[in-house]
Amino acid sequence: MKRYKQLVTAGLALSMMGVIAGCGTNQVSPLTQGTGSTQSSKVPTNTISGNKSVGNIQNTSFNFHEYLPFTPLLPSYTAGYQLTHSEVIRYLNTPQNGDAISYSASYANGFVITEGRPNQLHIVQISPKTDLIINNKIHATMQNHDGGESIEFEKHNILYDVTTINGGVSLEDLKKVCASISVPATQSPSVIHMSDYGSNSSQLGFSPVKAGQFYVPSGFTLNTQGSEVNVSKTSKTVSFQITYNKGSSYLTVIQSTGMAPDYSKNSSFHIVRMYGTSVYFQSRNPGLPVAVFTIPHTGVQVYASNSAHLSRSVGANLYC
């Protein structure tokens, strides 16, 4: 049984590398036959392109329009607090809410501002809302939370949520902050996080192998596939994740650059050479991938994982 599990995992790794290596541009790998998977007639190139502007996050004047459908605004009155952290968040094609795009700015332990289009910023209500008018011109609502108050209002088709952090500012100061939000943000955000729950991978900088282009064990059906980009001022990670389900069991494969943990010194893994590439396998630790390898000539790492249900079943260490 253990040998069978290793062969299934190896089959998946081999088929992925076979697609990438271009073993016949229009040939169907024997491993995909009978699985319901089809191979694209166009073999992905999987070459790393130069970093897009998203990698140049340290620019002092930042072009937010590359990531947001609006220009974020900051307050001129901050009650003495300094801007300490900011984020751009882009969740596209989510199953629950469609697109969710926002900008947030935190001012130490005083308050945080979150803003976005009304149909793209989804604010959770945690207590009854009360109406509030600020400076006789801003019609807002307020709700209480454990750390103080949260004020929500809309201006020029942008929804703003201004929330105290652990009672950092008084309600009167919070109102003043809301009334002064008018200064365009120019500073590079501390973090950019982008996820696309569709099959679009243009923002990655490499061409991932997608669902239908590699071996999948019988009975597993595609659940989700999507890309993710995380950028800070010191690092950039991009990945493409595919998840399959079979009942309560799942398979996940992640293709990524910028997140390469070193498994060569981990005693849980053993090495198998495939297509001249070292593939690391393990089956004992459910917290680790079952297979890890780097796609030759690209630097793209592949991490294959499975649910605990599979670790005791025929399909255990399959591919991801």
Please give the structure tokens belonging to residue 118: 């009304």
Q: Give strand pairing partners of 255.
A: 240, 302
What is the structure's pLDDT at 12? Answer: 58
Name the more confident of 274 and 174: 174
Report CA-CA distances (Å) from 18 to 26, 164, 206, 215: 12, 54, 17, 10
Quote the Cα angle for 175-181-186, to 5°.
145
Rounded-to-10 torsion of CA 43, 197, 290, 220: -80
State the pLDDT confidence band at 310, using cuts at 50, 70 and 90: very low
Determine the pLDDT at residue 191: 93
Residue-level pLDDT at 277: 82
Ordered structural domains, the chain, with CATH: 2-51+199-312 (no CATH), 60-187 (3.30.200.100)
Kindly tell me if the per-residue pLDDT of 84 is higher than 80: yes
**Is the pLDDT score of 194 beyond 80?**
yes
Q: What is the pLDDT of residues 72-83, one digit of tens each?
A: 999 999 999 999
The proportion of the chain whose per-residue pLDDT surpasses 90, expressed as a percent, equals 30
Distance of alpha carbon 55 from alpha carbon 38, whole angstroms = 34
Give the whole-angstrom CA distance, residue 102 versus residue 69: 9
Q: Which residue has the higher pLDDT, 249 or 33?
A: 249
Residue 9's pLDDT band, with cuts at 50, 70 and 90, is low
User: Is 256 in contact with 294 (CB distance < 8 Å)?
Assistant: no
Is the distance from CB of 57 to CB of 188 less than 8 angstroms?
A: yes
CA distance 141 to 267: 56
- Average pLDDT over the chain reads 76
Higher pLDDT, 57 or 134: 134
Task: Point out the least confidently predicted range of 43-47, 62-66, 298-302, 310-314.
Answer: 43-47
Q: What angle do CA 300, 306, 308 make, to 5 degrees?
A: 150
What number of other Cβ atoms are within 10 A of residue 176's Cβ? 18
Q: How far apart are CA 129 and CA 142, in angstroms?
A: 5
Q: Is 247 left (phi over 0), alpha (psi -120 to 50) or beta?
A: left
CA-based torsion, 259, 85, 101, 223: positive or negative? positive
- The alpha carbon of residue 156 and the mean position of all alpha carbons in its chain are separated, in whole angstroms, by 29
Contact yes or no for 130/145 (Cβ under 8 A): no
pTM value > 0.85: no
Q: What are phi and psi of 3, to 5 degrees?
A: -65, -40
